[in-house]
């Protein structure tokens, strides 16, 4: 039997992180150049199911039953097992990922989506994208407490989206490819820790924090239109305003601020932290002609890794 193979991309939040947790809209885009790949084979004549983790720097083989109760891999698999009424067959699952962990690029959501898609196909269950998304969210909930759901949604649907907790997800059209550079601060922070920090700040200073969250919501609305019509300068300006607002929420760091500044000095049209913040990656938008200069400037100013890619998205059916 050929292996079942499923993949899920990384993501960036182009506008609106943190405010989206409080019901404001946000824009997220899948990043196909980084992915989680899951392949599953039946473990015929084996007593146990095995998970093989294959990353660039380390390899590890673990028995499925030896995974911690709250392990995201175990939770995602169990969520799919719960859909069948019989004992699931033993399996051998190999997971490899090029998405940096705890870096704001959606590694945990991509893992949940790829496992859900792969395991459901292995068991012969058809799941719609909406169903995959619900299961991936369940797994995200265990890890992040109360995530907004934007990460699993953009990764499940594989398309730029405008997301808010109370509205139906809508696809965003980006007619002309936009060049982006993602730069790593080299620092790792758990999203849930930064989400808690913002929550604490909101509790302490509601009069200061509430208007900032509303301001971010307003920037997202403007950005949706600017993205559709490819108004790059406006997109860049809105990103910088979004970064300043995130900094006021307490989500930035010295390293993120430095990389944002570096990219602007070297000709980027705009830049901001992306995802939870406090570390991880930042994103800069640039004209094709200035991408090279922005990238080398970021490396000189401390970026430990660069991903240079484009974002684009014409509307497609769900």
Q: Is 151 a catalytic residue?
A: yes
Please, what is the minimum distance in Å from the beta carbon of residue 150 to ligand MEV?
5
- The span from the CA of 1 to the CA of 219, in Å, is 51
Give the CA distances from residue 78 to residues 87, 112, 116, 195, in Å, rounded to whole numbers and listed in that order: 11, 11, 9, 27
The residue behind tokens 């919501």 is: 217
**Given the rule CB under 6 A, which residues bind ligand MEV?**
13, 17-18, 20-21, 147-148, 150-151, 191, 195, 275-276
Tokens of 208: 């200061």
Cα distance from N-terminal residue to C-terminal residue, the chain: 30
| Phi-psi map region of 161: left, alpha, beta (phi>0 left; psi -120 to 50 alpha) | beta
Q: Which residues of 43-78 are buried (b: 16+ CB within 10 A; e: fewer)?
A: beeeeebbbeeeeeeeeeebebeebeeebbbbbbbb
Active-site residue (options: 71, 151, 193, 207): 151
Q: What residues act catalytically?
A: 151
């Amino acid at each position: 039997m050929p292996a079942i193979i499923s993949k899920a991309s990384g993501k960036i939040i182009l506008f609106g992180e943190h405010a989206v947790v409080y019901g404001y809209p946000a824009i997220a885009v899948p990043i196909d150049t980084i992915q989680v790949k899951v392949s599953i084979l039946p473990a015929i004549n084996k007593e146990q199911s095995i998970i093989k983790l294959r990353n660039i720097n380390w390899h590890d083989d673990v028995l499925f039953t030896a995974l911690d109760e709250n392990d995201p891999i175990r939770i995602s698999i169990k969520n799919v097992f719960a859909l069948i009424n019989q004992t699931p067959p033993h399996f051998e699952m190999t997971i490899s990922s090029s998405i940096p962990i705890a870096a704001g690029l959606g590694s945990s959501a991509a893992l949940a989506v790829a496992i859900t898609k792969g395991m459901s196909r292995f068991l012969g269950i058809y799941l719609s994208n909406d169903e995959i998304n619900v299961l991936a969210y369940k797994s995200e909930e265990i890890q992040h407490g109360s995530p907004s759901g934007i990460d699993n949604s953009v990764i499940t649907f594989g398309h730029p989206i405008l997301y808010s907790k109370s509205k139906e997800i809508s696809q965003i059209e980006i007619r002309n490819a936009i060049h982006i550079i993602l730069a790593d601060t080299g620092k790792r922070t758990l999203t849930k820790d930064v989400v808690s920090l913002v929550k604490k700040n909101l509790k302490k200073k509601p009069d200061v924090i509430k208007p900032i969250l509303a301001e971010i919501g307003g920037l997202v609305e403007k950005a949706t239109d600017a993205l559709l019509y490819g108004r790059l300068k406006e997109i860049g300006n809105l990103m910088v305003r979004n970064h300043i607002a995130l900094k006021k929420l307490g989500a930035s760091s010295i390293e993120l601020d430095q990389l944002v500044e570096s990219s602007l000095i070297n000709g980027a049209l705009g830049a901001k932290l992306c995802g939870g913040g406090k570390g991880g990656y930042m994103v800069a938008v640039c004209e094709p002609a200035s991408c090279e200069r922005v990238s080398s400037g970021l490396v000189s100013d401390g970026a430990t890794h660069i991903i240079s890619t484009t974002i684009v998205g014409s509307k497609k059916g769900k």
